[in-house]
Amino acid sequence: MTANRGMGEAAAPYTADEMMTVAASRELRDGAVCFVGIGLPSEAANLARATHAPGCVLIYESGTVGAKPDVLPLSIGDGVLAAHADSVVSVPEIFNYWLQAGRVDVGFLGAAQVDRFGNINTTVVGDYQHPKVRLPGAGGAPEIAASAREVIIMLRHKRRAFVERLSFVTSVGHGAGGGSRDDLGYPGAGPTVLITDLGVLRPDPETRELTLVALHPGATVEGAREATGWNLKVADDPGTTEPPTERELELLRDLKARTEAARGGSTRGTET
Known catalytic residue: 43? no
Measured CA angle at 262 (ends 256, 265), to 5 deg? 75
Applying the rule CB under 8 A, the residues between 115 and 134 that interact with other proteins are 123, 128, 130-131, 133-134
Pairing of strands 124-126, 120-121: unpaired
Residue 89 and residue 79 in contact, taking contact as beta carbons nearer than 8 Å:
no
145 vs 105: CA distance, rounded Å: 11
| Piece in contact with other proteins (CB under 8 A), picked from 49-57, 148-156, 163-171, 202-210 | 163-171
Tell me how far, at minimum, the Cβ of 172 lies from other proteins, in Å.
4
Tell me how far, at minimum, the Cβ of 99 lies from other proteins, in Å.
7
Query: Which residue among the candidates 18, 27, 61, 209 is catalytic per the annotation?
Result: 61
3-class DSSP state for residue 108?
strand
Q: Which of 25, 46, 147, 241 binds other proteins (CB under 8 A)?
A: 147
3-class DSSP state for residue 88?
strand
Tell me how far, at minimum, the Cβ of 184 lies from other proteins, in Å.
5
H or E segment and range at residue 165: none
Q: Residues 28-67 vs other proteins: string with x where CB under 8 A? A: ----------x----------------------xxxx---
| Piece in contact with other proteins (CB under 8 A), picked from 2-10, 177-185, 192-200, 204-212 | 177-185
Residue 64 and residue 45 in contact, taking contact as beta carbons nearer than 8 Å:
no
Query: CA–CA distance from 58 to each of 36, 85, 105, 194 (Å)?
Result: 7, 9, 10, 19
Q: Is 221 in the site for other proteins (CB under 8 A)?
A: no
Q: 93: number of CA atoms within 13 Å, CB side?
A: 9
C-alpha distance across the termini of the chain, in Å: 24
Tell me how far, at minimum, the Cβ of 254 lies from other proteins, in Å.
20
Binding site residues, other proteins, CB under 8 A:
38, 61-64, 74-79, 81-82, 87-88, 90-92, 95-96, 99-100, 123, 128, 130-131, 133-134, 136-143, 146-147, 168-172, 175, 181, 184-187, 263-266, 268-270, 272
Which residues belong to the active site? 61
